[in-house]
Structure 1
Amino acid sequence: MKKLLLLVITAFISLPVLADVIRINQLGYPPHGSKVAVWCSKEQDTLKYFELVDATSGDVMFKSKAMRAAGAYGPFRQTSRLDFSSFHTPGQYYLRAGSTTSPTFSISDTVYKGTADFCLRYMRQQRSGFNPFLRDSCHTHDGFPVYGPDTTFVRVSGGWHDASDYLQYVTTSANATWHLLAAARDFPKVFSDSLQANGLPGSNQLPDVLDEAKWGLDWLIKMNPGDDRMYNQVGDDRDHQGMRIPKQDTNFYGRGLERPVYFCTGEPQGLLKYRNRATGTASTAGKFSSCFSLGQQLFAHSGYADTLGHKAKAAYTFGMAKPGVCQTAPGRSPYFYEEDNWTDDMELAAAHLGNNYLDTAWHFALQEPVTPWLGKDTARHYQWYPFINQGHAELARQISGARKDTLIHYYKVGIERVWQKARLNAFYRGVPFIWCSNNLTVAFAIQCYWYRQLSGDDTYLQLEQACFDWIFGCNPWGTSMVYGLPANGDTPADPHSSFTHLKQYPIDGGLVDGPVYTNIFKNLIGIQLQDADEYAAFQSDLAVYHDDYGDYSTNEPTMDGTAVLIYLLAAQENQARRSGYTITHGGITRMDSTHQEIALVFTGDEFGDGLSAISKTLQQEKVKGSFFFTGNFYRNKAWQPAIRQLYKEGHYLGPHSDKHLLYCDWNKRDSLLVTKEQFLQDMNANLDVMQQLGIDTANVRCYIPPYEWWNDSIAGWSAGMGLQIVCFTPGTGSNADYTYPEMGIRYKSSKAIVQSVKAFEKNKAGKLNGVILLIHAGTDARRKDKLYLQLHQLINYLKQKGYRFRRVNDLVI
């Protein structure tokens, strides 16, 4: 449709190009997030005011001064940022600046809903071996080994095609696998389960993102068939001989349908004219190891996890034996992934391997404090891959004190270097226009996100959001860079893809390479545009982007870039859904404050005298609660009949640690009192005894820490197990029901506690919306005044006020 429209427009060459345009994020904006558009003019006029208009009524809902003129950028002579972040009302709107209006967009907490799942479609379409989109198989004859000690056939069919060609690389596939695993770990509520492991329709009780990640893991295992065997690449650029659908295997390599499989030698490779600059194996081995370790966490309690755990350590050892980079191999053309760094990969691997490796991870962190391209104007193709140092975030979640602060500072230094360039233009663009600039953009946005999560510092929030907005249309060309997203937006229609070019198959969710410097474009080999350029008015001496299958440099979708985008989209959806939530050190202490819902939670370790009364009250009031017990409590035979009854009645049962450990110092919260191994062992023991009582722990997604006390490291370790920390809402006072008169002024009677809850409801903004009320399942015998005996009265009061009761796991995101 876009190409047809172009032909109509070019037929009337006398039509003027609009002097002014407003670029927006076509997906829309969450109510409580950063909301910025960019006004652009071909003239030198400046803008004073802009308006936000209700698209239905035409009413002006918000009016503000435009930010200072930001000057020329790309094809525009003047630009300005339009910031409407302070407007929070959901709805359909457009922006008006002078006589120019923007496309209509949404403000809603659901604007990102389903987008991560949508982009998973592209990953499935890229599958080699059995391809669920085509419902057919391809490349089942891979392959014959080169460079290594093996001479016989190596079975490596599977994995993903790298881009629109059908080459396959561990370099990019491992990075994609890691991001899918991390997205499943960090944002488990975002993804759906509508497909089987093979990608065909049907639920298999596993989120589709984990099915896709496992597809990557299974191929990585094939590429690492033994502790002393590691392969890095399948095929080479002899593949680039015309477009074809993947099932049309070719004999370009002189071995029938077999393709070469490149052994990791740690030495320069290249079978034809060109060779790479490989110096070791660590960059590839580190990627293998980190994927295997993270996979072990997410597929725990299985033989598969045991395999992954062994291979994670073996791959790490393989990398340590030969430090250096294992670059991909070129052939007849000079293009390859010129990765020049490896300590970041080994840092990530060591951080995943746990406590005994953390000092080594720190040593690697010191060798690459800041990813070298950050703040630079150029770099070689994939020179500093995977574009950000993921190891810093993983390590920072597991340590405390000065070392953690240093890692966070490293992230800040890199962000600040980009910011010094970005602040000079209205798009806040500080990422260089090198090949695959979109991949750099989404990776950098994740570094900003991780920095904000680890530090609590929002200084760079608009820079982070600007990267995201750029991908979805807030750029000089006014187009989304993701095929088919949003459905009603301006998105790629003619990408460099055989699927679309030969068969007109949609490549839903594929992130294209993105703009490149104009001088790069002019010097690339073999590029020839096939159609008139619909973005001709927005090309410039700075950068170009073409929606034309003849341009492999700006409009070719990539598998690894899409996988990184999936993590970013999941983070955005999770954050939008959490806009009304209160997060403290990674733990949820209040649910969505925009909904009149309350969660009743009950904890127990030593005492369970209130179980019977609590169960009876909840049943009478038709209210579901959430119970968090220690392993000590679950093992107590006196409480087991009541526990089984609670589970039968549909209440949520979760862990509370096995031995009721104190995780961190009361006065110095950042100071840990347990190691990661102790934490994991204790939590797994808690989950094991729950399983023994018939509780399905596969559905356990949240827990309350012992003593209701934790820190960022504990939250990070918990996330690695797929567990979200939840806790009572401070100020409600119900958690004081454990006190007894001998405690003096700390003692709170049940009457005082109920009054405290009522006072919170009366005086606090948002009242009790989203509040988590904690009551103990039993208390010391010295407390005669039991709050659980007042539960009936409390529930009735809250019902009269209009509150609904939900299990806490149903509200956790």
Structure 2
Amino acid sequence: MMSRLLLFLCLSVALSAFVLRANESAVIRVNLLGYRPSSLKTAVWGSLTEKKTARFQIVNAETDQVVWQREVGQAFGAYGPFQQTYRLNFSAFRQPGRFYLRTDEGTRSPTFRIDENVYDGAADFCLRYMRQQRSGYNPFLKDSCHTHDGYTMYGPMPDSTHIDASGGWHDASDYLQYVTTSANATYHLLAALRDFPEAFSDQHQTNGLAGANGQPDVLDEARWGLDWLLKMHPTDDWLFNQLGDDRDHAGLRIPKEDNFYGKGFERPVYFATGEPQGLFKYKNRATGVASTAGKVSSALALGYQLMRKLPADYADRSYIDRLRQRAQSAYKLGEQKPGNAQTAPGRAPYFYEEDNYVDDMELAAVEQLNLSGATSKQAGQWRNTALKFARQEPVTPWIENDTARHYQWYPFVNIGHAELAKRFPASQRKTVTDFYKRGIETVWQRAKQNAFYRGVPFIWCSNNLTTSFATQCLWYRQLTNDQQYAAFEQANFDWLFGCNPWGTSFVYGLPANADTPADPHSAFTHLKQYPIDGGLVDGPVRGSIYKNLIGITLHEPDEFAAFQSDLAVYHDDFGDYSTNEPTMDGTASLVYLLAAKQSEKRPKPTASTQSLAAGNQQANVDSKSTYFKGAKIRGDTSVRQLALVFTGDEFGDGGTTIARVLRKHNVRASFFLTGRFLRNRANASLVQQLRRDGHYIGPHSDQHLLYCDWTKRDSLLVTHEQFSKDLRANYAALGRFGIQRSKAKLFLPPYEWYNDSISVWTERAGLQLINYTPGTLSHADYTTPEESNYRDSETILQSIQTYKQRTGTGLNGFILLMHIGTDPARTDKLYNHLDDLLTELQTSSYQLVKVNQL
């Protein structure tokens, strides 16, 4: 009864989603997993019609209140099913919470989170799928399967010789097992533990059942892979490549014992001969062993490095020694038989058509170097060997091609480049890191023309390629500190979790309560409605590929029908094995990427970070400052310093006094002056003096325009053309005093009043908007006695003193704004109290700096 109710609810949800999507003419695609406050944050708006949009808002999902808004920026035009697209960049918005985006024509995004911990636990979640894929003993089913494996084929021993090959992981939603994918998955899991140990918890035993065992779960999972690799490379000169073949595809079943391979419950184990294999109609094109041997050697070597540091009750000395020995013997097999060890087909023409191996041997050479005991001379020799392999394949070939056969160039990222680069001092890495850069730039040239920044080809396992490419961007950024591809890297990560034409995450169940695969090509879900939590599905393929595949039939109406195109198709349907089948190795590579995302320190974005924004710039924010509507309003509150800022337009009567007092206290301040102030001949000598004294001088608009309504802040009173023309005139006036625009890129708006549009326009102009820090009344020094908002100097100074004495940060990071002159009707001039104010601040150990130093 419960299962029928669950099925009814799932069908109801799917039907409602189908009806909703069928009526949509425009959509907003976001990363459903969410964003960090300080990270790059971009969504994509797409229209199925010719309509356009101009502005978008961030809306608090709890209150339905608009909290931020911007113009959409550059139109990217048609892409896939969309006739018009825009990138919606909200990187400058940093407030934690639950939000949705809304455009001016009424399109609304799904709700998403902004939170520092938004990726926490995601890598651990994907380990659920790895455990479910275990062969030998399956902890998800709490039952054993494939325990009789297997009988040998193509080996030096007589065919059908029994060997113990039980264990490891099933490859995808079928139950074949491949050494090439298993070794790659094992390496990714081990590397994730090595690089990001804090991303993983301990909630399972070594056998995968619930219960802590004192080691992180990712190590337990990697150990499962290592154990099987040792079985597949049991002696110095024996290496097996595959367990089972496509006879496995005869029918759906929950894994148990298979009795259709002709020898009881045993399955065939294919020896890695380096020559073409295939027991039936089809044959592979194998040319060697090195592609498999290199992967095995690398995984076992890294396993050795990590395992030898563990307590003896988890990995005994003989086990650890065997890892080291087999890592070395596998490497030697790769040397002896260079070339590619493809998987063996059976009765269908599909197999893993791997055509490269030098990347595998490059990584294996580095890991041989990492094994303990190498002398300085030997270390240099291993580096040179690895570099020789690296130069033979500087760029993973799929990157420079727009198509590929199934797993033709595998793994999809050259891990060896990253590990080799680490073995050189930072100053000597460029040769290797430039290999990564060349590949990234190649994909970027394809990607920069579309709003999704999509340059990865739509071939089988496109999600695996996307995960690997995002990881390559990550490694390049970490190794070089070059931020120029950060937006591109983020776009590939966002694609996996919903910022794609279909608006779905491609990971089953992640995030919860969002659109993720519900009907994957998996016997677990199709037969038993078991969840396959954490499984990364293959992903979209070209329409031409999909149309030519054998045996695909959709079982349900296509809820994504409106978003399919010749460019790419994706179906959340059991019948589509090409786009909706989860893979073990793709999931393992995603575990690494998610662990990196959870653990990564957030560097300050730089100007180069914004270079890929294609006209949709983000604010040049830093993580220790405070921003409001895109303007910096306070600096680092952990540092006891503040900036004095003076604005000037109509009046300049305090200028001489202010300049004299600043010189007395040896303080450099910041002055933001309008064009009217600068062109007033009475102010010329003052401006020249301020410049000679080393103060910061920047723009405050030319005619001191009021940009937006005082009561309806979102209502603009100027056009973009008026804003730009006025700003250019302000800079022309600054230029007469030798103040170059490149040296005065901070802009303080007139009346200290602005909105999100002004912030966007300022960014487009290559400037950073700033404003005073709220909390004191210093900015009220312009008021006159007849005004209702009048504040005398004593009241203003007391407000500063009161704020300074507040517990915690006091005036730390403050932008304290006053005016260089005021209306003659105000006789109580605050600047006459500046001497006492500076004495008080310096006595309180505040360092006074220019605003560009804050």
Shared fold, TM over 0.5: yes
Paired with 1:491 and 1:296, the residues of 2 have a C-alpha distance of 37
**CA displacement at 1:59 relative to structure 2:** 2.4
In 1, are the aligned partners of 2:170 and 2:584 still within 8 Å (CA)? yes
Correspondence for 1:158: 167
Are 2:155 and 1:130 equivalent residues in the alignment? no
Cα distance in 2, alignment partners of residues 392 and 305 from structure 1: 26
Deviation at 1:92, TM superposition (A): 1.1
CA contact (8 A) 2:497 2:507 kept: yes
Report the equivalent of 1:30: 36
- C-alpha displacement of 1:47: 2.2
Query: Hey, what's the Cα distance between the residues in 1 that align with 2:811 and 2:189?
Result: 43
Matched, 1:323 2:347: no
Report the Cα offset of residue 58 of structure 1. 2.4
> Which residue is equivalent to 2:3?
none
List alignment gaps of at least 5 residues for structure 1.
583-591, 599-759, 767-800, 802-813
Inter-partner Cα distance in structure 2 for 1:79 and 1:413: 28
Shift in Å, 1:9: 7.0
1:135-160 Cα deviation digits (max 9, x unpaired)? 00000010000000123211010000
Q: Tell me which moved more, 340-349 or 41-50.
A: 41-50
Alignment partner of 1:579 out of 571, 594, 602: 602
The answer to whether residue 146 in structure 2 is matched with residue 139 in structure 1 is yes
User: What is the rounded CA distance, in whole Å, between the counterparts of 1:8 and 1:287 in structure 2?
Assistant: 46
Amino acid at match of 1:56: E
Q: Structure 1 residues 268 and 45, CA, compared in 2 at 3 Å: closer, same or farther?
A: same
Q: Helix, strand or coil for the counterpart of 1:225? A: coil
Q: CA deviation at 1:442?
A: 0.2
CA contact (8 A) 1:295 1:308 kept: yes
| Pick aligned residue for 1:216 from 225, 238, 245 | 225
Q: Which residue is 2:408 aligned to? A: 383
3-state DSSP class of the match of 2:226? helix
Partner of 1:120: 127
Q: 1:85 to 1:581 in 2, by over 3 A?
A: closer
Matched residues in 2 for 1:765 and 1:233: separation?
62
Corresponding position: 1:364 with 2:389:
yes
Verify the 8 A CA contact 1:181 1:295 in the aligned structure 2: yes
Corresponding position of 1:413: 438
Q: Supply the distance in 2 between the matched residues of 1:470 and 1:404 (Cα, whole angstroms).
A: 30
1:19 corresponds to which of 19, 22, 25:
25
Alpha-carbon separation, structure 2, partners of 1:18 and 1:244: 38
Paired residue for 2:542? 517
1:351 maps onto 2:374 in alignment: no
Cα distance change of structure 1 residues 16 and 242 upon mapping to structure 2, 3 Å threshold: closer
Aligned to 2:574: 549
Name which of structure 1's ranges 365-374 and 297-306 shifts more when overlaid on structure 2.
297-306
* Cα distance change on mapping 1:597 and 1:120 into 2, 3 Å: farther
Q: Deviations over 1:48-83 (max 9, x none)?
A: 211111122222222112121101111110000000
**Does the 8 Å CA contact 1:375/1:431 hold for their aligned counterparts?**
no
C-alpha distance in 2 between matches for 1:452 and 1:168: 34
Displacement after TM superposition at 1:351 (Å): 0.7
CA distance in 1, matches of 2:367, 2:475: 17
CA distance in 1, matches of 2:604, 2:75: 36
Q: 2:408 and 2:11 mapped to 1: Cα distance?
A: 35
* Aligned counterpart, 2:89: 83
Change (3 A) 1:338 1:763: farther
Could you tell me which of 48, 56, 64 is aligned with 2:54?
48
Secondary structure of 1:311 counterpart: helix
Counterpart among 103, 109, 113 of residue 102 in structure 1: 109
- Alignment correspondent of 1:442: 467
Verify the 8 A CA contact 1:378 1:434 in the aligned structure 2: yes
* TM score, norm. by length of structure 2: 0.67
- For residues 290 and 540 of structure 1, what CA distance do their matches in structure 2 show? 41
Structure 2 counterparts to residues 512-661 of structure 1, below 5 A = 512-575=537-600, 578-579=601-602
When structure 1 is superposed on structure 2, of 303-312 and 442-451 the one drifting more is 303-312
Secondary structure of 2:43's partner? strand
Shift of 1:5: 3.4
1:627-660: CA deviation from partner (whole Å, max 9, x where unpaired)? xxxxxxxxxxxxxxxxxxxxxxxxxxxxxxxxxx
Residue 172 of structure 1, aligned match among 181, 204, 210 = 181
Query: Are 1:17 and 1:537, in contact at CA under 8 Å, matched by a contact in 2?
Result: no
Residue pair 1:47, 1:69 contacting (<8 A) in 2 also: no
1:428–1:466 contact (8 Å) kept in structure 2: yes
Contact 1:375 1:421 in 2 (8 A): no
The aligned counterpart of 1:507 is: 532
Find the aligned partners of 1:375 and 1:264 in 2 and give their Cα distance: 29
Partner amino acid for 1:154?
Answer: I
SS at match of 2:250: coil
| Deviation per residue, 1:450-502 (Å, 9 max, x gap) | 00000101111111111111111111111110100111100111100000000
Extract structure 1 runs of 4+ deviating beyond 4 A.
760-766
Q: How far off its partner does 1:765 sit?
A: 5.8
| Cα distance in 1 between the residues matched to 2:355 and 2:279 | 21
**Aligned-residue CA RMSD in angstroms?**
2.4
* Maintained 8 Å contact 2:17/2:559: no
Q: 1:158, 1:219 within 8 Å by CA — same for their partners in 2?
A: yes
Per the alignment, in what secondary structure is the counterpart of residue 127 of structure 2? helix
Structure 2 partner of 1:66:
72
The one-character-per-residue Cα deviations of 1:238-294 (angstroms, maximum 9, x if unpaired) are 1101100002x2222111110000001011111111111110110001001100111
Give the CA deviation at 1:764. Answer: 7.4
Q: Check whether the contact 1:580–1:593 (CA below 8 A) recurs between aligned residues.
A: no
How much has 1:110 moved relative to structure 2? 1.0
Specify the alignment match of 2:235 in structure 1.
Answer: 226
Residue type at the aligned position of 1:407: V
Residue 247 of structure 2 corresponds to residue 238 of structure 1: yes
TM-superposed deviation, 1:558: 0.3
Tell me, what secondary structure is at the counterpart of 2:69? Answer: strand
Shift of 1:375: 4.1
264, 267, 283: which one aligns with 2:291: 283
Residue 256 (structure 1) aligned to one of 243, 258, 264: 264
AA aligned opposite 1:211: D
Give the structure 2 partner of residue 398 of structure 1: 423
Distance 2:87 2:219 in 1: 39
Structure 2 counterpart of 1:108, one-letter code: D
Counterpart contact for 1:286–1:349, Cα < 8 Å: yes
2:491 corresponds, among 466, 482, 499, to 466
Once the two structures are superposed, the pairs formed by residues 263-342 of structure 1 within 5 Å of their partners are: 263-301=271-309, 302-303=316-317, 304-342=319-357
What does residue 449 of structure 2 align with? 424
Query: Which residue identity lines up with residue 285 of structure 1 in the other structure?
Result: A
Distance 2:145 2:251 in 1: 17
Output the CA distance in 1 between the equivalents of 2:183 and 2:27: 40
2:429 match: secondary structure = helix
Larger Rg: 2
- Distance across 1 between alignment mates of 2:22 and 2:412: 41
Aligned partner of 1:651 in structure 2 is: none
CA distance in 2, matches of 1:225, 1:414: 37
- CA separation of 1:330 and 1:81: change in aligned 2, threshold 3 A: same
| TM-superposed deviation, 1:761 | 8.9
Residue 763 (structure 1) shift: 9.3
How far apart, CA to CA, are the structure 2 residues paired with 1:343 and 1:761?
56
User: With structure 1 as the length reference, what TM-score do the two structures score?
Assistant: 0.71
Partner of 1:339, secondary structure, is coil
Name the structure 2 match of 1:772.
none
